[in-house]
Structure 1
Amino acid sequence: MPDEPYADYLLTYFTGEDHAGGEQVRFAVSRGGDPLRWDTLAGGDAVLTSELGTGGARDPFLVRRPSGDGFYLVATDLHIHRSQDWMACQRTGSRSLVVWESPDLVTWSEPWLAEVAPPTAGNVWAPEVTWHEETSSYAVYWASMLYPADDPEHEGVSYNRMLIARTTDFREFTPAQVWVDPGHSVIDSTVIEHDGTYYRFSKDEREAPTPGLDGKSVLLERSDDLLSTGWEYVTGAIGMSTDPELGIRQGEGPTVTKALDRERWYLFIDEYGMRGYIPFETDDLDTGTWTKSPGAELPVDPRHGSIVPITAAERARLVEAYAV
């Protein structure tokens, strides 16, 4: 934790594959600590760019060091605008993360690629990070399609599981383990901890609408053990509605943050192919009941990213460096 109290938020995001520069990292800062109202930095241009690997950096996730004195940002090494082939990128795509390091959110290292998935994986999508106090390491998790060892060309049928590994420096990682595998494709997991319980939001990739299934939408599970493979299901189809005033038609890329001044949580779900991030809120994580937040003012085309609380000094430094 930093010495100062948190006063605002930083949103990291990308804007999509419709144009060449959309799959790079953008920043916005909240107004007065309100997670529903944002000021875009750098004129909406990318703040961090990667030409490594595929040349893209999607799904950026920012994590503060537990000491409070620095940050890591990880992203998907994927450039769909360049390749235009989603399936090929899951069979023989990048098995690495794009990583940056910063002491202050404005001075950034050169990016590096960190290989985290085994050769049996076809991709590494939407990496996220949670500090794991019990092992004094970062738990890093992402989605990968896995193929048998006797299918080195990855030509068979597969689906995305969530994998997990641990690291202390984002250069050396423990061997990846399967973390989520319900027998069908699940991607985009994100986690928040509250009072010793972890709450995990993920995208169910099954087709929708399917009677009895929560397809193409976000579900919630909970556990008192971050590394466990046996999480309790809470609810599914979060925010789904045919009425755009009440919710979304499809969702992925969830990110969640807590209010700075009360017991309230905000869940941003990417209504992909439509409006991008749409916020929802609840005063009780255990009920699984979320309502669409009114009057949100977000950046243009915000897609799958992360929201991190920051101090007033950190916000001022970001605004000075990148301008609102």
Structure 2
Amino acid sequence: MKNLIGLALLLLCLSACNNKQNTKNEKEIYLFSYFKGNGDGLHLAYSEDGLKWEALFDDSVLLKPEIGKDKLMRDPSIVQDESGTFHMVWTTGWWDLGIGYASSRDLIHWSEQQNIPVMEKFEGTKNSWAPELFYDKKSKTFYIFWASTVPGAFPELPTSESEQGLNHRQYYVTTKDFKTFSDTRLFFEPGFSVIDGAILEKDSLYYLFVKNENSAPAEKNIRVTFHTKPYDFPTEVSAPIIGNYWAEGPAPLLVDDYVYVYFDKYRDRKYGAVRSKDMLHWEDVSDSISFPGGTRHGTAFKVSESILRNLRR
């Protein structure tokens, strides 16, 4: 009997080891989280080459928003931690002082939606827009950063009448467990109204992509800076890395030798992209990509092929 029990345990161990090895050897697939309309909820698309993106679940909503003044789910940002859990943050409303959070093991079943009150201690804050998640594996720390306007905090800039005097800067908190958070601090102040930050780690450097949101005169373009750590980024940014059009929501993704940056060409109501091998010279490949119709500001991330198989089932 002892020999049989020992044999059973050995077989279980070998099976677990093989499963873990198979997961490591699996092909990587790219996923894209996005919303449609004014913020209907979470949508997902997948790609095998970073160019052609196909909607999952017939482009239906996977998770509907339940929190926030406006009960919206805009700008969904998803990262997966080392345990396999997916974490998501999003914009819950146009004039909220917090952001939304939920987690999932399979991108189908989600935890209860929570509000993280990131700007409640900053008196007069107007908004909390486009939160983005970045997981730093070196320090095992999550960085959550977003754009807020705090009246009087920075020199006022000329703004168009439609933007109601908004003058954004990027703020952030850190967490290791999404239960306790650091105090909210200034993340990025480049001297212009800035929104839609996104970080990519490559070759031991951290690249921060942002949208210049100045409106008078209008900029509305994507720029980049880099550092050796995922905070305290130099405030000197590159020239625009996109063409002569308005864009927002940069979503960086490493695909083979290229870094792709996808973005919402919101005035043209379609998606665009640029790519680079050296992070200095950018090629516009907007005509080579395809996204589901109506895709709005999202994030791109890698998953194992088994995750996609489960989603497609």
TM-score between the two structures when normalised by the length of structure 1: 0.80
CA displacement 1:157-179 (0-9 Å, x = unmatched): 65110001101222321111111
Structure 1 residues 35 and 96: CA distance shift in structure 2, 3 A: same
Pick from 7, 13, 32 the counterpart of residue 11 of structure 1.
Answer: 32
> Is 1:164–2:164 an aligned residue pair?
no
Shift of residue 29, structure 1, vs aligned partner: 1.5
> Is 1:255–2:255 an aligned residue pair?
no
Shift of residue 294, structure 1, vs aligned partner: 4.0
Question: Matched residues in 2 for 1:198 and 1:112: separation?
Answer: 29
Question: Matched residues in 1 for 2:190 and 2:253: separation?
Answer: 26
Shift of residue 224, structure 1, vs aligned partner: 0.9
> Is 1:198–2:210 an aligned residue pair?
no
> Is 1:290–2:283 an aligned residue pair?
yes
Aligned to 1:221, what secondary structure does the other structure show? Answer: strand
Shift of residue 187, structure 1, vs aligned partner: 0.3
Gaps of 5+ in 2: 1-19, 154-163
> Is 1:69–2:84 an aligned residue pair?
yes
> Is 1:280–2:284 an aligned residue pair?
no
CA contact (8 A) 1:277 1:304 kept: no
Matching residue of 1:309 = 302
Pick from 112, 116, 119 the counterpart of residue 118 of structure 2.
Answer: 116
Aligned to 1:299, what secondary structure does the other structure show? Answer: coil
Shift of residue 130, structure 1, vs aligned partner: 1.4
Question: Matched residues in 1 for 2:240 and 2:216: separation?
Answer: 10
CA contact (8 A) 1:220 1:288 kept: no
Pick from 21, 24, 44 the counterpart of residue 27 of structure 1.
Answer: 44
Gaps of 5+ in 1: 79-88, 150-155, 242-248
Larger Rg: 2
CA displacement 1:198-256 (0-9 Å, x = unmatched): 1111000113766xxxx1111111111211143553x2222223xxxxxxx10111101
Question: Matched residues in 2 for 1:148 and 1:208: separation?
Answer: 18
Question: Matched residues in 2 for 1:200 and 1:109: separation?
Answer: 29
Where does structure 1 differ by over 6 angstroms across 4 or more consecutive aligned residues?
A: none
Question: Matched residues in 2 for 1:46 and 1:187: separation?
Answer: 26
Question: Matched residues in 2 for 1:38 and 1:16: separation?
Answer: 19
> Where do 1:83-162 residues align within 5 Å?
89=94, 93-117=95-119, 118-120=121-123, 121-133=125-137, 135-147=139-151, 159-162=167-170
Structure 1 residues 8 and 158: CA distance shift in structure 2, 3 A: closer
Aligned to 1:35, what secondary structure does the other structure show? Answer: coil
Shift of residue 107, structure 1, vs aligned partner: 2.1
TM-score between the two structures when normalised by the length of structure 2: 0.83
Shift of residue 147, structure 1, vs aligned partner: 3.0
* RMSD, matched Cα: 2.2
> Is 1:217–2:232 an aligned residue pair?
no
Question: Matched residues in 1 for 2:133 and 2:277: separation?
Answer: 24
Count of residue pairs brought into register by the alignment: 279
CA displacement 1:36-87 (0-9 Å, x = unmatched): 112212221211111211210100000111x141110111112xxxxxxxxx
Amino acid at match of 1:34: D
CA contact (8 A) 1:106 1:317 kept: no
Amino acid at match of 1:300: G
